[in-house]
């Protein structure tokens, strides 16, 4: 089998595609033939060591879809099952590969109505968007939401789910082409550009601000996102694609309107097997029925995983980036 590993933290050049012996699954483990792997900012954080550093060497890639080839003792999955997965806090899932040795608790059934590419697009980002809009901040009818990077993989899904729950969504983008993508996908009601977005949000909301802002960019947007919040509103800071936000003085919040700031990680909203299954089944059902649109705009062969990560980091992409281990 082939798999990408890193032996040190750093740039894309530390990623090594290696030929290794295909492992046999032990108790609670499943060997899966990877048909598609998702490329996420979590993978970049793991490669650079900037969030929850893991012991090295480690395999890359936390999200994927494929077919079960072998199972260890105590596993309910069977060879031939179509599955999707995302890992846990520790990374090392190894989805950037032709085969992956996974914990059975990570796997969820992939409905026949969905392709492997769709499964690898929704197993992490779709489930994360569900958690963001249903539990981190339970969006309700009449809410106004700000969703940054609303034409990107996460933003597209968060925006669509927030609108499904009755919110009016303002999305930010960097180009006119991305603005069109967001509107076509139905991920926002109003799409604005980053320059002066806080003033634009105040204008669009009649000066009130939004009930919730979803920000995974970081330093470049964080302070202005705070400025967009209404009284008792919440800022969901769920990533740092630009750069990590410096320490924040909580004593500012009462002066700004008794607001809330949270830094969730999806894995705390997948704390149980039941929760993982509920979220994935719900999201997969929405995709299959057409309620949620997945955009898979970029596909790379497995060997070009470093280039795929560079494309994601450049923030010039739209929709989801997928790796394909086979031609």
Write the pLDDT tens digit of every residue in 17-37. 999 999 999 999 999 999 999
Confidence class for position 267, pLDDT limits 50, 70, 90? confident
Q: What is the mean pLDDT of residues 48-70?
A: 89
pLDDT for the residue numbered 90: 66
CA–CA dist 326, 214 (Å, integer): 35
Fold: same for 2-123+295-324 and 129-266: no
Q: Is the peptide bond before 27 cis (omega within 30 degrees of 0)?
A: no
pLDDT for the residue numbered 297: 86
Q: Which has the minimum average pLDDT: 39-43, 183-187, 198-202, 274-278?
A: 39-43
pLDDT for the residue numbered 317: 80
Q: Which fold has domain 2-123+295-324?
A: Quinone Oxidoreductase; Chain A, domain 1 (3.90.180)
Write the class of the CATH domain 129-266: alpha beta
As beta bridge partners, residue 229 has 210
- The residue ranges of every structural domain in the chain are 2-123+295-324, 129-266
Q: Is the pLDDT of residue 327 over 80?
A: no
b/e map of 204-217 (b: 16 or more CB within 10 Å)? bbeeebbbbbbbbb
Q: Is the pLDDT of residue 89 over 70?
A: no
Q: Which of 176, 256, 271, 172 is closest to 214 using CA atoms?
A: 172
Q: What is the mean pLDDT of residues 159-163?
A: 98
Q: Is the pLDDT of residue 91 over 70?
A: no
Confidence class for position 92, pLDDT limits 50, 70, 90? low
Q: What is the mean pLDDT of residues 53-74?
A: 92
Rg over alpha carbons for the chain, rounded to the nearest Å, is: 19
pLDDT for the residue numbered 324: 98
As beta bridge partners, residue 82 has 67
Calculate the average pLDDT of the chain.
93
pTM given for the model: 0.92
Q: Is the pLDDT of residue 10 over 80?
A: yes
Q: Is the pLDDT of residue 314 over 90?
A: no
Beta carbons within 8 Å of 304's beta carbon, 6+ residues apart:
323
């Amino acid at each position: 089998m082939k798999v990408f590993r890193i032996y040190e933290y750093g740039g894309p050049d530390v990623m090594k595609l290696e030929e290794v012996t295909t492992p046999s699954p032990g108790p609670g483990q499943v060997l899966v033939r990877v048909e598609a792997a998702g490329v996420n900012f979590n993978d970049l954080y793991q490669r650079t060591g900037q969030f929850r550093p893991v012991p090295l060497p480690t395999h890359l890639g936390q999200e994927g879809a494929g077919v079960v080839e072998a199972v260890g003792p105590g596993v309910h999955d069977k060879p031939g099952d179509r599955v999707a997965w995302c890992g846990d806090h520790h990374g090392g899932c190894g989805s950037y590969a032709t085969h992956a040795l996974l914990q059975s608790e990570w796997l969820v059934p992939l409905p026949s109505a969905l392709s492997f590419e769709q499964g690898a697009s929704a197993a992490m980002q779709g489930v994360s968007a569900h958690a963001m809009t249903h539990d981190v901040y339970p969006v309700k009818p009449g809410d106004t939401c700000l969703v940054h990077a609303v034409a990107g993989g996460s933003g597209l899904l968060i925006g669509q789910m927030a609108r499904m729950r009755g919110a009016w969504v303002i999305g930010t983008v960097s180009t006119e082409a991305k603005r069109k993508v967001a509107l076509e996908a139905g991920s926002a009601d109003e799409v604005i550009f980053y320059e002066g977005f806080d003033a634009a949000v105040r204008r669009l909301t009649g000066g009130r601000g939004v009930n919730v802002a979803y920000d995974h960019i970081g330093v470049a947007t964080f302070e202005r996102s705070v400025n967009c919040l209404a009284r008792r509103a919440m800022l969901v800071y769920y990533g740092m694609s630009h750069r990590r936000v410096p320490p924040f003085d909580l004593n500012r919040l009462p002066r700004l309107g008794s607001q809330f700031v949270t830094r969730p990680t999806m894995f705390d909203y997948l704390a149980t097997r039941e929760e993982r299954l509920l979220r994935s089944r719900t999201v997969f059902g929405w995709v299959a029925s057409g309620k949620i649109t997945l955009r898979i705009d970029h596909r790379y062969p497995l060997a070009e995983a470093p280039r795929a990560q560079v494309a994601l980091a450049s923030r010039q992409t739209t929709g989801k980036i997928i790796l394909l281990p086979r031609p």
